[in-house]
Amino acid sequence: MDAGLFGGTFNPLHNGHIGIIKYVKQAFHLQKIFLFPSATPPHKSAIDLAPIQDRLDMVRAGVAELDGFYTSDVELKRKGPSFTIDTINDFKRSPFETISQSPPNFFLLMGSDAFFDITTWKNQELIFKAIPIIVMLRGERTGIAPIASFIDEHISKGYKLNIRQKKFTHEQMQPVHICNVPKIDISSTMIRERVKANRSIKELVPANVENIIKKKDLYK
């Protein structure tokens, strides 16, 4: 079974997240995608950060009716900042019978902005050794070229690009795949700003997420 792991602050989950993961699930024939909200995101400021339990509830409610999407609270259970390498290892170590009939092949999904930030992540080299990555490009006109130079300069000179397959391969590291996802102009920042300004967020987040934001009075 092929499964995607998609981490984020999800402050809150929005239709941009949902649109891209639906697209990647189909494009890479992933049977399942696990979304894991970061408990204490090391890269984002805590201003306007909704409590982890509320962000988790919003993710859970937002994907509840979608087939093949699951929410994981692994980062909620760990203390301290959430590091992706620890989460990958938690997924790999957990008994596969709890999620599938055979040991899953995991893929780490990330937006290009997160990918370009990866040099600041803990144990980035271990991440590239541990798990194939799918980088989601949102219609950037520059295409793969900036990713190729970034990998060459900051990750390893040993990666080779197969342009037809949009895939970087390496003898000691896991592949990095590129997926061109539809451009959806929604961000969590935009949602928080609209809520603060009493503007509608309908069509931008799933209805269940909007209900939680209202009920819990988040982002005011």
In the set 138, 167, 170, 216, which binds ligand ATP (CB under 6 A)?
138
The 8-class DSSP code of residue 166 comes to T
Length, in residues, of the chain: 220
The answer to whether 11 contacts ligand ATP (rule: CB under 6 A) is yes
How many Å apart are CA 109 and CA 71, to the nearest integer? 14
The answer to whether 188 contacts ligand ATP (rule: CB under 6 A) is yes
How many Å apart are CA 4 and CA 72, to the nearest integer? 12
Of the candidate spans 14-22, 73-81, 83-91, 206-214, the one that interacts with ligand ATP by CB under 6 A turns out to be 14-22
The answer to whether 82 contacts ligand ATP (rule: CB under 6 A) is no
Minimum Å gap between C-beta 172 and ligand ATP is 25
Minimum Å gap between C-beta 22 and ligand ATP is 12
Among the residues of the chain, which ranges form H helices?
15-27, 52-63, 74-77, 84-93, 112-116, 124-130, 145-150, 188-196, 207-216
How many Å apart are CA 7 and CA 74, to the nearest integer? 11
The answer to whether 107 contacts ligand ATP (rule: CB under 6 A) is no
In the set 3, 4, 5, 17, which binds ligand ATP (CB under 6 A)?
17
Question: Residue 45 or residue 198: which is nearer to ligand ATP going by CB?
Answer: 45
Closest CA to 39 of 69, 77, 89: 77
Q: What are phi and psi of 159, to 5 degrees?
A: -80, 140
In the set 42, 53, 113, 129, which binds ligand ATP (CB under 6 A)?
113
Contacts with ligand ATP by CB under 6 A lie at 8-11, 16-17, 20, 110-111, 113-114, 136, 138, 181, 184, 186-189
